[in-house]
Amino acid sequence: MTAFPCPIPVVETERVILRAPRDADLPAYAAYFATPRAEFTGGQRDEVDTYRMLMNMAGHWHMRGYGLWVIEDRATGATAGWTGILHHLDWPEPELGWTVFDGFEGKGLAHDAAKAARAFAAADLGLPAPISLIDPRNARSEALATRLGATVERPFELHDTAVNIWRHPDVREVAA
């Protein structure tokens, strides 16, 4: 069988590598989705549904030309979470999203990864001020959005859940 080419770019910072999902990432993702922490990222799921999600991550790149990367901790090589830009049909516009797994919080990896994904979105996708859709009960994501300079723009209903649309600063204005 011939593999369909998947031109998912690799983005590297001093602390993280943003890369395409791999089969070897499944245990880390399955461990995350087996916990209540998954509430804000689609809910808990079993290993089969988690693998489908990894395949969807790769497929988003094929359908939209952008998507989510796996966050790899450069220091350890461990799968630490995900970040990137995604845009589902029922979303108001492309979103910058992020999640880090247990053991990787509080180290600045999510900030580093989300900032790199946002810079890629501006430079390579023409998205200089993306949104993030955040459930107001998700204090950690709100704190990261604030640290990234985003502010609440307005409420939004997403799959029967009230979320806030956070608008990131326009990187063209930040750079000026």
User: If one looks up domain 11-127 in CATH, what number appears?
Assistant: 3.40.630.30
- Give the pLDDT of the chain (176 residues) as one tens digit per residue: 445 555 899 999 999 999 999 999 999 999 999 998 888 888 899 999 999 999 999 999 988 999 999 999 999 999 999 999 999 999 999 999 999 999 999 999 999 999 999 999 999 999 999 999 999 999 999 999 999 999 999 999 988 889 999 999 998 776 54
So where are the chain's domains?
A: 11-127
Q: 3-class secondary structure for 42-80? A: CCCCCHHHHHHHHHHHHHHHHHHCCCEEEEEECCCCCEE
**Is the full-model pTM beyond 0.85?**
yes
